[in-house]
A and B are shown apart, each in its own frame.
Chain A
Amino acid sequence: MRRSIPVVAAALGLALTMSACSSDSSSGSDATTAPTTADTASASATTPTDGGTLTIWVDETRKKAVQDAASAFEKETGAKVTLVQKNFEDIKADFIAQVPTGKGPDITVGAHDWLGELTKNGVVAPIELGDKTSEFEPVSIQAFTQDGQVYGLPYAIENVALIRNTKLAKEAPKTWADAIKAGKAAKTKFPFLIQTSDQGDPYTYYPLQTSFGAPVFEQNADGSYNPKLAMGGDEGIAFAKWLAKEGEKGTKNLDTAITYDNATAAFAKGESPFIVGGPWMLDTFKGMDLSIDPVPSAGGKPAQPFVGVQGFYISAQSQNALLANDFLTNYMSTDEAQTALYEAGNRPPALISAAEKASSDPITAGFAAVGKDAVPMPSIPQMGSVWQFWGVTEAQIISGKVDATKGWNKMIDDINKAIGS
Chain B
Amino acid sequence: MPTVKSPHADQGAPPRTPDLEPVGRADHSHARTMRPGFLAKLVLMAVVDAIGVYCLLAAWNADAWGIFAAMLVLLVAANWVYFTRRALALKYILPGLAFLLVFQIFVVVYTGFVAFTNYGDGHNGTKQQAVDALLVQDEKRVEGSPSYPLTVVSQDGTLGFAVIDPDGKTLVGTAEDPLTPDDATVESDRITAVDGWTVLSRQDILAQQKAITALRVPISDEAADGSIRTQDARVGYVFKSTLTYDAAAGTMTDTESGAVYAPNDHGEFEAPDGTTLPIGWRVTVGFENFTTAFSDSRYAKPFFSILVWTFAFAILSVLTTFLLGLFLAMVFNDTRMRGRKVYRMLMILPYAIPGFVAALLWSGMFNRRFGLINNLFFGGAEIPWLTDPWLAKFSVLFVNLWLGFPYMFLICTGALQSLPSDVLEAAKIDGASKLRTWRSVIMPLLLVSTAPLLISSFAFNFNNFTLIYMLTGGGPQFEDASVPLGHTDILISMVYSISGIDGSAPKNYGLASALSIVIFVIVGGISALAFRQTRKLEEIN
Contact = CB atoms under 8 A, between A and B. Distances in A.
Interface of A: 1-4, 6-15, 17-22, 24-26, 28-29, 32-33, 35, 38-39, 41-42, 47-52, 77-79, 96-97, 99-100, 102-103, 117, 119-123, 125-128, 130-131, 147-149, 198-199, 255-259, 262, 316-317, 319-323, 325-326, 329-330, 381, 384-385, 387-389, 392, 396, 399, 401-402, 410, 413-414, 417-418, 421
B130 A9 contact: no
Nearest to B124: A121
B265 interface: no
Contacts of A20: 102
A121 B125 contact: yes
B137 A119 contact: yes
Given A4-B41, A198-B387, A11 B62 contact: no
A100 B202 contact: no
21 contacts: A3-B31, A4-B37, A4-B44, A6-B92, A6-B94, A7-B44, A11-B45, A14-B52, A14-B74, A15-B48, A21-B64, A29-B58, A100-B125, A120-B122, A199-B473, A259-B367, A322-B233, A329-B231, A401-B476, A414-B483, A421-B298
Interface string B269-282: 00000000011000
Contacts of A384: 500, 503-506
B423 interface: no
B140 interface: yes
A25 B58 CA distance: 7
A330 B235 CA distance: 11
Contacts of B82: 7, 10
Contacts of B104: none
Contacts of A42: 204, 207-208
A326 B237 contact: no
Contacts of A329: 231-232
Interface in B209-249: 209-210, 212-213, 231-235, 237
A154 B461 CA distance: 45
B296 to A, nearest CB: 8
Nearest to B211: A42
A418 to B, nearest CB: 7
Contact of A32 (B61, B124, B231, B503): B61
Nearest to B70: A21
Contacts of A149: 137, 140-141
A192 B541 CA distance: 69
Nearest to A40: B207
B28 to A, nearest CB: 13
Contact of A257 (B41, B55, B213, B367): B367
Contacts of B38: 3
A402 B201 CA distance: 69
B475 interface: yes
Contact of B121 (A24, A120, A148, A401): A120
Contacts of B387: 198, 256, 399
A22 B387 CA distance: 45
A14 B201 contact: no
B63 interface: yes
The 9 closest A-B pairs by CB, nearest first: A122-B133, A100-B125, A13-B95, A257-B369, A121-B124, A388-B504, A322-B209, A325-B231, A42-B207
B232 A322 contact: yes
A87 B141 CA distance: 34
Contacts, number: 258
A12 B207 contact: no
B98 A13 contact: yes
A126 B136 contact: yes
B129 A22 contact: no
Given A3-B41, A316-B129, A322-B232, A77 B202 contact: yes
Interface residues of B, number: 95
A268 to B, nearest CB: 14
The main secondary structure of chain A at its interface with chain B is helix
Interface of B: 19, 30-31, 36-38, 40-41, 44-45, 47-48, 51-52, 54-55, 58-59, 61-64, 67, 71, 74-75, 78, 82, 91-92, 94-96, 98-99, 102, 121-122, 124-126, 129-130, 132-134, 136-137, 139-141, 147, 201-210, 212-213, 231-235, 237, 278-279, 296, 298, 367-370, 382, 386-387, 473, 475-477, 479, 482-484, 500, 503-507
Nearest to B140: A148
A79 B38 CA distance: 49
B411 to A, nearest CB: 25
B124 A100 contact: yes
A4 B52 CA distance: 19
A19 B36 CA distance: 28
Contact of B71 (A18, A50, A119, A258): A18
B125 A47 contact: no
B65 to A, nearest CB: 12
A14 B19 contact: no
Given A10-B48, A421-B296, 16 more contacts: A3-B31, A13-B96, A21-B55, A49-B203, A50-B203, A100-B129, A119-B133, A120-B279, A122-B125, A123-B133, A257-B367, A316-B133, A322-B231, A323-B206, A381-B506, A401-B479
Contact of A417 (B58, B63, B298): B298
B235 to A, nearest CB: 6
B62 A29 contact: yes
